[in-house]
Amino acid sequence: MVAYVELNKSLTEEESALKEQIHRFAAEVFRPAAMELDPLTPEQVIDRSSVLWEVFRKYRELGYHLRGMPEAFGGIELSPLSLHIISEELGWGAADLAISMGAGSMPYSFAARSGNQELIEEYVRPYIDDTEGRFVGCWGITEPQHGSDVVFMGNGMDPPPGVAFDLFAERDGDDWVLRGQKSSWVSNGTIATHSMVHMGVDRSLGMAGSAIAFVPLDLPGVTKGKPLDKLGQRALNQGEIFFDDVRIPASYMLVPQPAYALMGDFIIAGANGGMGATFTGLARAAFEEALSYTRDRVQGGKPICEHQAVQLKLMDMFITVEAARGLSRAALTYNAATIPPAPEYSIASKVFGTQASFQVASDALQLHGGYGLARGMVIEKLFRDARAALIEDGTNEVLSLAGARRIIDKHK
């Protein structure tokens, strides 16, 4: 298998070593496990005997779950370039598992930065010490009636006041009481032990009247639906979570309503930036599968990579992958050092990177011919996984409108 040329000549020894280490992990752990999980039913994927839990254990044993966590709690502070390298390599190995591992840390990462000592001692420190996958987080934002519109309504203006999260929280003394549900697209939804939950707290303000809380999912009133059966990213567990008069202490509110809009920019910048990097990895994996196959496949008396039509296709794919990496690295690096961030660059990275991954995977599948359609082929899985990325974490169309709105407003 071909290894891509690192164009950045300024990588430190630590960054180079990290790149080799994380690639080896992606090749030896992520890729084989994802291929094993892909044909299983959603119930089999999350069964305690599943290889999924071995992935969690190995990921935690190597300390990858500590990236982005504050050093004060045992976390590892990494350069933006190192964070991009990790995301790209994990996406190269298996985008579905990369997303699962990333979502698994979100509630604890936010709780660690909240300053809430109760949350830190009861949940953050045990998560940091967890090498068994006993603590699994999820990001509870999407709802049956609210998906991409939580970012932007797509009509050239802010959402009207009546548009708000259906999951609503009311203050009751020293507690908040949660009522409503999150949809079947919550990553890690049916296996998570804790969630970072977005909810409405003031309907008169629309989406601006929202807040984010840390919610243990073993509380009375929390129930879960069935794991979702999907076209692609089948190693990524997703499912509904229901909240029926779920009571949490007021101190568990990580982001109160007045800070929600600003925090939303940080979340969009981080999540979309990570998606751009992850699916650059998938695009690269698809290109490498195509290059390897076309070197071996003989038609017309020679390997098909010697046919000019195939060469033109390979070069287009190569250019697309390199462009995706350049944009995603630049966006992630810029927003990591900029307060407040510029989400439009991360949005551009997500939109371009995911579209690049789908186009490259489609072209790579075409070069495989009929073999590309066969179950068990890496390229067939990459194609299905890439398709899901055009929708998740905000559909590319709605995200593009959100990015355009920001660009227009900044350059009045």
Output the average pLDDT for the chain: 93
The CA distance from 60 to 230, in Å, is 26
Q: What is the pLDDT of residue 156?
A: 43
Residue type for position 76? I
Q: What is the pLDDT of residue 331?
A: 97
* 136 DSSP assignment: -
Q: Where does a domain end: 258, 274, 291?
A: 258
Q: What is the pLDDT of residues 243-275, one digit of tens each?
A: 999 999 999 999 999 999 888 889 999 999 999
Q: What is the pLDDT of residue 162?
A: 67
Q: Residue range 3-29: average pLDDT?
A: 92
Identify the residue with better confidence: 403 or 160. Answer: 403
Q: What is the pLDDT of residue 152?
A: 54
Q: What percent of the chain stands above pLDDT 70?
A: 96
Q: What is the pLDDT of residue 157?
A: 46
CATH of residue 76: 1.10.540.10
368 and 239 both lie in a single domain: no
77 and 213 both lie in a single domain: no
Q: Residue range 37-46: average pLDDT?
A: 98
404 and 267 both lie in a single domain: yes
Q: Where does a domain end: 196, 230, 258?
A: 258
Helix (H, G, I), strand (E, B) or coil at 253: strand
The CA distance from 237 to 243, in Å, is 19
Report yes or no on 7 lying in a domain.
Answer: no
286 and 318 both lie in a single domain: yes
Q: What is the pLDDT of residue 153?
A: 40
Report yes or no on 6 lying in a domain.
Answer: no
Q: pTM of the prediction?
A: 0.95
- 105, pLDDT greater than 80: yes
Q: What is the pLDDT of residues 144-176, one digit of tens each?
A: 988 887 765 433 446 666 678 999 999 999 999
If phi > 0 it is left, if psi is from -120 to 50 it is alpha, else beta; for residue 243 that is beta
Q: Count the residues in the chain.
A: 412
Q: Where does a domain end: 258, 287, 317?
A: 258
Q: What is the pLDDT of residues 273-316, one digit of tens each?
A: 999 999 999 999 999 999 999 999 999 999 999 999 999 999 99
Q: What is the pLDDT of residue 200?
A: 94
Identify the residue with better confidence: 162 or 57. Answer: 57
* 203 DSSP assignment: G
146 and 247 both lie in a single domain: yes
Is residue 173 exposed (0-12), middle (13-18) or buried (19+ Cβ within 10 Å)?
A: exposed
Q: Residue range 103-122: average pLDDT?
A: 94
Report yes or no on 5 lying in a domain.
Answer: no
305 and 394 both lie in a single domain: yes
- Name the band, by pLDDT with cuts 50, 70 and 90, for residue 373: very high
Residue 307, C-beta contacts closer than 8 angstroms, at least 6 positions apart: 299, 300
- 136, pLDDT greater than 80: yes
- 2, pLDDT greater than 70: no
* 252 DSSP assignment: G
Q: Which domain holds residue 56?
A: 13-129
- Name the band, by pLDDT with cuts 50, 70 and 90, for residue 359: very high
What residues form DSSP beta bridges with 173?
A: none
Q: Residue range 344-372: average pLDDT?
A: 98
CATH of residue 173: 2.40.110.10
205 and 334 both lie in a single domain: no
Q: What is the pLDDT of residues 201-221, one digit of tens each?
A: 998 888 889 999 999 999 999
